[in-house]
Chains A and B, each alone.
Chain A
Amino acid sequence: MLRRAVMTLAMCALVLTGCAAAPSSSRLTAADLDEVAAAMAQSLQASDALRLRSADAPGWVVTMHRPENLSSDMITVSERWYLVERLRSSLPLASLSRERNLMFVLPAEHAAEQSASQGAFTDRRPTHELTASIRSVTRQAELHRTDAYAIQFRLSEIDNGERVWSGEYFIKRAAFGRAWD
């Protein structure tokens, strides 16, 4: 009898456990970063800033900065570098160099770390910088949470700060349940 009672109890517990929804999170995922990078690369490539350039145009050397995270989610430094690196690698770098006289160089932060050998970069002094920021707006209603992320990229001239291109991508992530449990 005891054994049957315990078995019944265990079965009930298993059934109850099986009915529960999987835990969820409103964080950005790696797939989201891929999606952002691909869309932004497409936007940059289609922009007048690049489309109207020719092989004879004055050379652009674009350096990249680590995106600033102003969102409610913690996004690691490596994930943020991954985002700009994915954008860069989604571009046709060889044809951009050949047909648009544009090249990307070491990220500024990394180049600064190489200050001892800075002479090596003098012939490729950056003329432009690619910056990005990740923001979010959070909506909380009882156990529902929604985070709307806006990821903005900007390409600017370093000398005068003039913005030659900007693009923005929005992602919404929702989750349900108790944050503390």
Chain B
Amino acid sequence: MLLMLGGCSTSTYDGRLVHHVRTGEFGLARGHLNHLASANPGQARQLLSHLNLGVVNLADGLASEAEEPFQRAYEILRLRDINAGTRLTAAITYEGVRYFKGEPFEQAMAYCYIALQKAAIGDYDNCRAAANAALELLDEFDSFRGTTDPVPQGFSYAVYRNQFALAYLLSAIGNLGMGRQDEAEDFIARVTLINPSLGGLARALLDPSFNTVLVIDAGAGPRKVAMGDGGVGFISSERGTNRPIDVFVNGITAVSAPPAANLDALAQRYSWDELRAARQAKEAIGTGLVIGGAVIATQSRDDEARLAGLAMIAAGLIASAMATPDLRQVDIFPQRVYIVPLRIESPGSTIQIAFGGQAVLTIPSIDPPSHTERLKVRSVRLPASVAWVAGDQVLYANDGYGGYVPGQSLPYILGGTCVRMPTHALLAEYQRAGYLTGMTLGELLELYRLEGIRLGTDGSGGRVGGHVLEGGSWLYTPQDGTAGYARLFGRTHRPYRPKSEAVRRLAAEMQALHQNPTGRTP
């Protein structure tokens, strides 16, 4: 029993996941999550798993693929009193019986990520609804605790009381995307009132010449820890800083922005340690039983009394073990979130993100929004300093890039640099360059099938595998303007190693053709 309670960890800290996210290896992070899901399907249906997968997909530029896990997360978040049945049980026995729904600030952030994902796929109605859900939640929590902020005066739409600027900004973005200018202006005026330093940026959103918004995550979010007095609190994972972020478009300084959210501060205000008193009581009872039992067991000469003393010690240890706090949390939330409005005028623009003059990420090739879009919204997760942050060239032809890439006239699996989805038009392009002449699209698709490569992400439910460039067996193009796009197409990958004899032979033929002086350049 003691072993069992000791083994029932109330922390789900996943060091591997955190490491992959910190280093910007979102493909590996997703692979890890997929592995965990197949090993434990029940766990994969929990809120935490949905959120982790959604956040990782979004960071990897797979906004559409983040839809399914975020939808499941939203359904759970909107349920009230999930833990009504476990409150007393958790207070009396073990906190791990509670369904993990996260602290209020984690739930508000989850709504913000859902809003961001909706904006990234152009579903602004739901972006607005999800961002407003974050504001509603915090207002309700404040009201319950009696810590409500004053009613804002002079607002028609932004009538929430709390001061969570990020959600107000996301709601404004949703409204702008829907063409609801009045409501967007109201939310932006509210942000300006909450945090005047965000006012200039917020107002830039209203300027029609700003056509792109980057929502940038930086740093590692706060850690949930036991405070030693039976309490639970959040501490910063890294030195707290509100330093502004600098974003350059094609080498020209575009924006310097302060964070719209700092999760260290958010966690201090919107976390809830309801079970602290119960924990203290269990710990006190446990300690009392152990001490009392030890006295009886050692002082008594009666065998039965000594046995009773030992039983008291065991009961005390159990009570102490049950006082272990629930330290589950969303491990991969960032420390800060920035909202950066940009003006992207030319296709294939390069974005560079820096702190204090030091570049932290370069994203090659972002296009302006299409003529049917008012805004393009992208989620960017900054990795820790790794080599590929400096890459400003697209090295692999992909479906999100219209420019020329050396080697693009041959598929990557045959020795070229093309990872576009095979189509009639693309095959014709290969053939115009002198490659794969006489081949039909069906035959080209068969090559991918022989290699076990899955084309596109349809029907994956968000559980996308590794990209073929990174040794995986999936072919897809992440959204431009994301860290996932930069990682896949902005750095050099190892040449493809064919698995099938047919592809190996054809790749060798293509290589010979390439080396032939009269041959073409792929």
Contact = CB atoms under 8 A, between A and B. Distances in A.
Contact of B272 (A19, A23, A73, A180): A180
Contacts of B345: none
Nearest to B118: A74
B141 A68 contact: no
Nearest to A77: B123
Contacts, number: 118
Interface string A159-176: 000000000000000011
Given A16-B89, A180-B140, A5 B80 contact: no
A122 interface: no
Contact of B81 (A19, A73, A181): A181
B125 A181 contact: no
B125 A70 contact: yes
Contacts of B272: 180
A1 B308 contact: yes
The residue among B101, B103, B139 with the most chain A CB atoms within 10 A of its own CB is B101
A25 to B, nearest CB: 5
B445 interface: no
Contact of B140 (A9, A20, A72, A140): A140
A74 B131 CA distance: 10
Contacts of A31: none
B136 interface: yes
Contacts of A70: 125, 128
B83 interface: yes
Contact of A13 (B1, B67, B89, B118): B89
B104 interface: yes
B81 A75 contact: no
A142 B140 CA distance: 8
A21 interface: yes
Interface stretch (B30-38, B71-79, B469-477): B71-79
B315 A16 contact: no
Nearest to A2: B311
B55 interface: no
B436 interface: no
A76 B82 contact: no
Contacts of A10: 93
Given A2-B311, A68-B178, A180 B104 contact: yes
Interface residues of B, number: 48
A158 interface: no
Interface string B54-89: 000000000000010001001100111111111111
A17 interface: yes
Interface in B128-144: 128-130, 132-133, 136-137, 139-141, 143-144
A137 to B, nearest CB: 12
A178 B137 CA distance: 9
Nearest to B90: A13
A109 to B, nearest CB: 10
B314 interface: yes
Nearest to A76: B71
Contacts of A72: 129, 132-133, 136
B394 interface: no
Contacts of B97: 13
Contacts of A12: 92
Interface residues of A, number: 40
Contact of B315 (A5, A21, A23, A177): A5
A68 B311 CA distance: 65
B306 to A, nearest CB: 14
B375 interface: no
A180 B133 CA distance: 11
A76 B123 CA distance: 9
Contacts of A52: none
Contacts of A179: 80, 136-137, 140-141
The residue among A13, A68, A71, A75 with the most chain B CB atoms within 10 A of its own CB is A13
Contact of B314 (A2, A68, A71, A177): A2
Nearest to B81: A177
A13 B107 contact: no
Contacts of B178: 68
B80 to A, nearest CB: 4
The residue among A72, A74, A142 with the most chain B CB atoms within 10 A of its own CB is A74
Interface in A19-35: 19-21, 23-25, 27
Nearest to B104: A180
B114 interface: yes
Interface of B: 1, 67, 71, 74-75, 78-89, 92-93, 97, 101, 103-104, 107, 114, 118, 123, 125-126, 128-130, 132-133, 136-137, 139-141, 143-144, 178, 272, 308, 311, 314-315, 318
24 contacts: A1-B311, A6-B318, A16-B85, A17-B89, A23-B81, A23-B84, A24-B79, A25-B80, A69-B125, A72-B129, A72-B136, A74-B126, A142-B144, A178-B80, A178-B81, A178-B84, A179-B137, A180-B101, A180-B104, A180-B107, A180-B137, A180-B140, A181-B82, A181-B84
Given A2-B315, A72-B133, A74-B114, 12 more contacts: A2-B311, A12-B92, A13-B93, A21-B81, A23-B79, A25-B75, A69-B125, A71-B129, A76-B71, A178-B144, A179-B141, A180-B107
**Which 9 A-B residue pairings sit nearest by Cβ, starting from the closest?**
A177-B81, A20-B85, A177-B80, A69-B125, A13-B89, A23-B79, A20-B84, A17-B85, A16-B88
